[in-house]
Amino acid sequence: MNPVLDIRNLTIEYDTPTGVFTAVRNVSFSLAPGERFGLVGESGSGKSTTILALMRMLRGGRVASGDLLLNGRDVSAIPEREFRTVRFAQMSLVPQGAMSSLNPVLRIGRQIGDLFDDHGVRHGRDERRRAIGSLLQRVGLPPEAQDRFPHELSGGMKQRVCIAMSIALGPSLILADEPTSALDVMVQKQVLATLGRVQKDLGAAIVLIGHDMALMAHFVDRIGVMYRGELVEMGPVREVFASPKHDYTRMLIESLPSFDAPRALRRAAQGATFARGG
Ligand SMILES: Nc1ncnc2c1ncn2[C@@H]1O[C@H](COP(=O)(O)OP(=O)(O)OP(=O)(O)O)[C@@H](O)[C@H]1O
Ligand SMILES: [Mg+2]
């Protein structure tokens, strides 16, 4: 099957006051239709830069070399006018800090409606309301959430709105940049579960960016580890966890709070026995 996304030898540079900085170096990976791929790595390792290049949203940076193919098409060769329709319809982004990208002065329904308008999706008035309501329901929100302003919603609800917008036009690829990192742990899990469900229903492939290896391990099929601009390790989650090749990956896994949990529990249990025995 042809890959939805094929990134080959991607190198990205930013112009900085002190010269050219290579933020992403020679990165290659591809995604099969419906596949879940996780991108982890420390802050500044080039995760966001990689997917912003794909969306052609780099600010102050450029693709220095390499290819970005979306459903077999070279992303950089698509005329800007047409590319506007590619965003959301073929590939959508839940940007880092997405909820703060919602317009604070427009009701949720209006913001989703604008998205439909921008992409030539026409509805009658009642039909539009129903379409937005059912979209919101797909991400676990009540249809009436469309009448709210962003500040009237919780963080988790706002993030669900952003997910709703990312699936509104049925893309074959979703790019989610730390979609849950601003939320508390319980809400994180719920929002991620929702993202997983809608992604599956849609049959879309997804690139999920995050720091949290544990959360990631439950969600993705394959994982890639970025370190200082390079993709230093990539493979099925199970394999990467069972035998990490790169020092940084090993460190990420070992730093998981749950990693040593069984031993820690045993130790605590023993401690309790000793305490009782003593
Ligand atoms: N507009 C820019 N101009 C110059 N340098 C930039 C710019 N945007 C990002 N960088 C640099 O590129 C590198 C990669 O940044 P990027 O945002 O892709 O990292 P990240 O892996 O997404 O990190 P985080 O986990 O913190 O979101 C960093 O060193 C960053 O400082
Ligand atoms: Mg980032």
Residues in the chain: 278
**Which residues partner with 87 through β-bridges?**
91
Q: Residues with Cβ within 6 A of ligand 1? A: 14, 16, 21, 23, 41, 43-49, 59-61, 96
What is the per-residue pLDDT for 214?
84
Q: How far is the CA of 276 from the centre of ligand 2 (A)?
A: 49
Q: pTM for this one?
A: 0.90
Report the b/e string of 112-132 with b at 16+ CB within 10 A: bbebbeeeeeeeeeeebbebb
pLDDT tens digits for range 115-164? 999 999 999 999 999 999 999 999 999 999 999 999 999 999 999 999 99
Mutate to test the pocket of ligand 1, among 45, 57, 175, 232 (most ligand atoms within 8 A of CB): 45
pLDDT tens digits for range 54-69? 999 999 999 999 999 9
Amino acid (1-letter code) at residue 62? R
Which domains can be identified in the chain, with CATH numbers? 5-99+173-277 (3.40.50.300)
Q: How far is CA 54 from CA 10, 66, 67, 194, 214, in A?
A: 10, 12, 10, 24, 26
pLDDT tens digits for range 200-240? 999 999 999 998 888 888 899 999 999 999 999 999 999 99
